[in-house]
Structure 1
Amino acid sequence: MRIELVNTGDELLLGDTINTNAAWLGQQIAALGLMVSRHLVVSDGAVIKDAIAEAAGRSDVVLVSGGLGPTNDDLTRESLAELLGLPLELNEGIKTHLEAYFAKRNKVMVSSNLKQAMVPRGAVVLDNPFGTAPGLYFPAELSHSRGWDTHFFLMPGPPRELKPMMETLVEPKLRSLLPDGASRAIRYFKVTGLGESDIVERVEKKLEAVPGLILGYCIRQGDVDVRLSGQPGPVEAGTAIVNEHLSDHIISTDRRLMEEVVVQELAKRGQWLATAESCTGGFLANRITDVSGASRVYGHGFITYANEAKTKHVGVPSELLEQHGAVSEPVARAMAEGALKASGADHALSLTGIAGPTGGSEDKPVGTVFIGLASKDAETRVIKAFFPGMRDRFKLLASQTALDLLRRRLFGLRLG
């Protein structure tokens, strides 16, 4: 099945808005065992008509996001209706939804909003409880007059409206369009602590030897996604290879991020985490609290950027700082153990390092970081790492390593 995406909006082309819809839709479609063959971004207005026609001429399915609003340059529904020769008709159900939507918000619905209640004859309305723009599905038979055999899905542009519509209405329809007997699988492995070249060295030749298996990588900051796709048999064979040779470097197989895995495992165990951060300045705490449910596992976060704060808030002895310096194994250890004691948590992570670009020395160059993990029922562990480069990259990789240290302890893996 050949699928194309068309995203509309001047803001996407100007760079004012990052096109997250395309990435998310690609992932959702891949999870169905399918793949987007082409993705096109066009401006608002009449050009959308040409874009849809071009995509329809070579595709089984065209998904369009954006251009369903009430303004004069929102022309997606009108463009497709014109292409297919379908008259627009007022849909009383949508009109009622619009009136209720505005009444609930104590706003007056202006006449231009009625444009959104106009539906091309034969199109199926996709309800949108989160906004004013309903989606539309055009079965392939509506395109036969143009010599096409293409299904069209029109969806709103705002992600808060597009995502639930895609998950609850569009994806089930896409599954139903798959030919009988079609079977395709896709598996993701989120891997940390290994670079792409390391992964290639460990598994690529073995995976390439599996007939019918398609291998792909997506390099991210802090981890690498390894993607296996194909028929279920080859994917299962590839899965066994990845599990054997990447083993404890695999964070998740369901695309969860490191912080999600850690927070959810702590919640499952009923355990609490505290943090003491110097060089990352709260970045680790931010990642943890980005996870829904973090309040059940995370109670204390100490940002001890200055030496005085390390002593005052987590009890690092001043003589330890004087003797070894803030960026050292003994101080990372004392920070973790001090945070554990001050918070009463089950585990505490600490980070102290040199983010740069200044402040390094021959013994402790920019990018050096010490990471400590103290736990109630285990020996404190401190590791030294080196992440030279930009400050934001340093913070991300340092926090990733800290979370991985805790993940390994929680799952009984080797601590590096």
Structure 2
Amino acid sequence: MLNTGTELLLGNTLNTHGAWFGRELFKLGLRITRQTTVPDGDAIREALEESVSRADAVIVTGGLGPTSDDLTREITAEVLGIELITDEAALRSLEAFFAVRGLKMAPSNLKQALVPVGADVLPNPNGTAPGVYVPPRLNGRANCAVFLLPGPPRELYPMFHDEVVPKLKALSGIESFPPALELKFTGVGESDFHQQIDAQLAAVPGLEYGYCAHVGEVDLRLIGEEDAVRSGRQIALDAFASKLVSDDGSSLERVVVRLLTERNIKLATAESCTGGLIANRITNVPGSSAVFTHGFVTYANEAKVDLLGVSETDLEQHGAVSEPVARQMAEGALRVSGADIAVSITGIAGPSGGSEEKPVGTAWIGLAMKDRPTLAIKVYHPRKRKDFKQAASQSALDWVRRRLAE
């Protein structure tokens, strides 16, 4: 992968291509062996020369526009020793793009119709920059296929699926590849996996495994033949079955929505320190409208009293971050919403506001269910404010998951 664009290195634009391509290529049985990001201009030449001498296929993103710093097309032709010519079909497509929109095409756009002799033009119905495919037989330097794709995701991703995937399948000849499994765990650290099951996983013949840690979550990746993957999964479950969120790549919030749907249970939330993050995560899942009723963000004590009926006396005696308040927030959300289950959270996100008794990172979570005793637990996530909110929301959602699973 060769990603071009000065804006990617300045930090003005987030480079999401690497992760996206990694996932999409893996579905084809392919792996990215190296990913390089270079600024616009001559740096592309050096990176491309190195890449085509080493790789079987190179995917280049960006630099196909009409401006003076869009030089990917020209540099590629130079590196591969192929002449650039104007492709009539690409030119007509460009002219039609502007005509349909009632716009006049600037002369600078004409360079976007330039294509290395013998290369395939990849249509771009979502923009002006067509892609280019240079087959290995045209490459004068090495037996390497080169794909030139536009940078904007709205143009790049459809082009990849429509034009690049069939060509990569034909080039690779891969019809079947080892299965892969991603297991998501929460409430357990990466070091726990290393200490408890690393040696067992390493002893499974033909099993490739790895970990990826996120805030409040660890993903275990298993790749290999079916028996090897099955053995690796069982090893992980023997040690951490209660911590397993999913073994199909589903996020915690997606699993919660799935469980709510299967059980026909309605959920409400009452949040203070997370500021609505729990509700946001739930409502990011398609279909959540069928199971999610209310999301209360009661940041101020007055809101806790007015909206959820929290006792002013308990707020004064115990403070907002306390077991009684967490319980009452959950009970209030359950009562007002009419839902079947309600989860609440109140905590200290920091960086100030903590004390010796209640340090920054402390949170209380309440869980109320119809015809069941209200429960509350204290969690401690001493992290930066943003990460605290993520970790606290993870703890709350996981408690809902575990209660629903029971």
TM-score (norm 2): 0.91
Q: Output the CA distance in 1 between the equivalents of 2:138 and 2:348.
A: 62
Kept after mapping to 2: 8 A contact 1:183/1:232: no
Q: Output the CA distance in 2 between the equivalents of 1:96 and 1:375.
A: 64
> 2:204 corresponds to which residue?
210
Trace 1:252-267 onto structure 2 (pairs within 5 A): 252-267=246-261
Trace 1:180-329 onto structure 2 (pairs within 5 A): 183-267=177-261, 269-329=263-323
Q: Output the CA distance in 1 between the equivalents of 2:165 and 2:180.
A: 16
Kept after mapping to 1: 8 A contact 2:29/2:174: no
Q: Does 1:101 find its partner at 2:97?
A: yes
1:116-170 alpha-carbon deviations (Å, 9 max, x no partner)? 2222232223333332222222221111x32x11111221111222223334433
Compute the displacement of 1:377 (Å): 5.7
Compute the displacement of 1:115 (Å): 2.1
> 2:46 corresponds to which residue?
50
* Mean Cα deviation higher: 102-111 or 193-202: 102-111
Alignment-mate amino acid for residue 174 of structure 1: L
SS at match of 1:228: strand
Percentage of matched positions with identical amino acids: 54
Q: Output the CA distance in 2 between the equivalents of 1:255 and 1:172.
A: 26
1:16-57 alpha-carbon deviations (Å, 9 max, x no partner)? 222211222223333434322211111112331221111010
Compute the displacement of 1:270 (Å): 4.8
> 2:148 corresponds to which residue?
154
Q: Output the CA distance in 2 between the equivalents of 1:8 and 1:284.
A: 37
Compute the displacement of 1:181 (Å): 7.2
Q: Output the CA distance in 2 between the equivalents of 1:91 and 1:296.
A: 52
Q: Output the CA distance in 2 between the equivalents of 1:306 and 1:92.
A: 65
- Equivalent in 134, 155, 171 of residue 177 of structure 1: 171
Q: Output the CA distance in 2 between the equivalents of 1:378 and 1:139.
A: 66
SS at match of 1:215: strand
Q: Does 1:59 find its partner at 2:29?
A: no
> 1:392 corresponds to which residue?
386
Q: Output the CA distance in 1 between the equivalents of 2:226 and 2:48.
A: 33
> 2:364 corresponds to which residue?
370
Task: Give the 3 Å change call, closer, same or farther, for CA 204–45 of structure 1 in structure 2.
Answer: same
Trace 1:113-152 onto structure 2 (pairs within 5 A): 113-143=109-139, 145-146=140-141, 148-152=142-146
Kept after mapping to 1: 8 A contact 2:29/2:176: no
Q: Output the CA distance in 1 between the equivalents of 2:242 and 2:65.
A: 48
Kept after mapping to 2: 8 A contact 1:33/1:186: no
Alignment-mate amino acid for residue 256 of structure 1: S
Compute the displacement of 1:374 (Å): 2.0
> 1:402 corresponds to which residue?
396
Compute the displacement of 1:231 (Å): 4.0
Q: Output the CA distance in 1 between the equivalents of 2:128 and 2:245.
A: 39
Deviating runs (4+, > 6 A) in structure 1? Answer: none
Q: Output the CA distance in 2 between the equivalents of 1:21 and 1:180.
A: 23
Alignment-mate amino acid for residue 122 of structure 1: G
C-alpha RMSD of the superposition: 2.3
Kept after mapping to 1: 8 A contact 2:134/2:146: yes
Kept after mapping to 1: 8 A contact 2:345/2:365: yes
> 1:34 corresponds to which residue?
30
Compute the displacement of 1:10 (Å): 0.5
SS at match of 1:38: coil
Q: Output the CA distance in 2 between the equivalents of 1:128 and 1:292.
A: 29
Which ranges of structure 1 fall in alignment gaps of 5 or more residues? none
Kept after mapping to 1: 8 A contact 2:216/2:394: yes
1:356-375 alpha-carbon deviations (Å, 9 max, x no partner)? 22222332222111111223
Compute the displacement of 1:286 (Å): 2.7
Q: Output the CA distance in 2 between the equivalents of 1:29 and 1:116.
A: 27
Trace 1:6-25 onto structure 2 (pairs within 5 A): 6-25=2-21
> 2:335 corresponds to which residue?
341
SS at match of 1:309: helix
Which ranges of structure 2 fall in alignment gaps of 5 or more residues? none
SS at match of 1:36: coil
Q: Does 1:68 find its partner at 2:64?
A: yes
Alignment-mate amino acid for residue 298 of structure 2: T
Q: Output the CA distance in 2 between the equivalents of 1:255 and 1:341.
A: 34
Task: Give the 3 Å change call, closer, same or farther, for CA 370–40 of structure 1 in structure 2.
Answer: same
Q: Output the CA distance in 1 between the equivalents of 2:19 and 2:61.
A: 12
Alignment-mate amino acid for residue 51 of structure 2: A
